[in-house]
A = this chain, B = another copy of it.
């Protein structure tokens, strides 16, 4: 009994957060360790279902992962990378879409449903959700690597109206009728802006944005974030993540978060505790 009362007290501590986010939309980029580690993956699915049941609307955007490379290798297909981005020819794109939409997406949908949610998987072509545009990186032809031209969120809002949880694969259809692979962070950020989301959460494999002396920065304004890039404190893969967050906030998202997906329940820790976790980017500190 004592144990149970302690539990109820903990439940009650979440009330202010539940109240604060009731009816709000939170877009979560699901990727990295959180997506490859079985235990983290299951935790994540259950966390998403909890969010839905306490009245918050989660929208999941997932990335790809090692599975693409594995299948390409099995098929004897070699890949070249430019600036960390896979140059994607038509055959590679086929494999990428199959893995993203036909495997990873459905695995997540299945897991969420297993924990009692009602997820619906979407590729960017479904309902015309994501219109892609060809991306050119440093003047190099990248093939079927695209950026986001526009987001038409009507299929998401239709599904949310019936309490489904949308799970989005980062693939878009071009006006040329072709299919493009898009960076999942970019998709998450533009979808969050299009939905006027309360939060954008990027699950990553780092603790967050670090200072010169490698200590975690817990919050950043847009100008502070800009300065970090200019001053080359933020480097490497963190730069596009920071930019993605900054654009989302500039596009109307209340706050964007870069958090450590290697920590179990990282997303809930961010949402349901005052301490938060990782780095928050917003209009104000």
Contact = CB atoms under 8 A, between A and B. Distances in A.
Contact of A177 (B7, B106, B114, B120): B114
Interface stretch (A133-141, A151-159, A186-194, A238-246): A151-159
B99 A113 contact: no
Interface string A108-124: 01100111101111110
Given A98-B98, A103-B94, A22 B113 contact: no
Given A54-B55, A102-B103, A126 B116 contact: no
Contacts of A6: 10
Given A11-B272, A120-B122, A5 B161 contact: no
Nearest to A178: B110
Contacts of A128: 113, 118
Nearest to A165: B127
Contacts of A16: 116
A105 to B, nearest CB: 8
Q: Is the interface of A mostly helix, strand, loop or mixed?
A: helix
A215 to B, nearest CB: 15
A9 interface: yes
Nearest to A47: B12
A90 to B, nearest CB: 12
B10 A10 contact: yes
* Identical copies of this chain, number: 6
Contact of A118 (B115, B127, B273): B127
Contact of A173 (B49, B55, B75, B110): B110
A127 B121 CA distance: 8
Interface string A70-84: 000011000000000
Contact of A4 (B9, B22, B74, B269): B269
Contact of A102 (B102, B269, B272): B102
Given A4-B273, A103-B94, A275-B4, A268 B11 contact: yes
Contacts of A123: 106, 109, 121
Contacts of A162: 154-155, 158
Given A118-B155, A120-B122, 5 more contacts: A7-B14, A8-B265, A102-B105, A106-B125, A155-B164
Interface of A: 1, 4-16, 18-19, 22, 46-47, 49-50, 53-55, 74-75, 94, 97-103, 105-106, 109-110, 113-116, 118-123, 125-128, 154-155, 158-159, 161-162, 164, 171, 173, 177, 179, 263-265, 268-269, 272-273, 275, 277
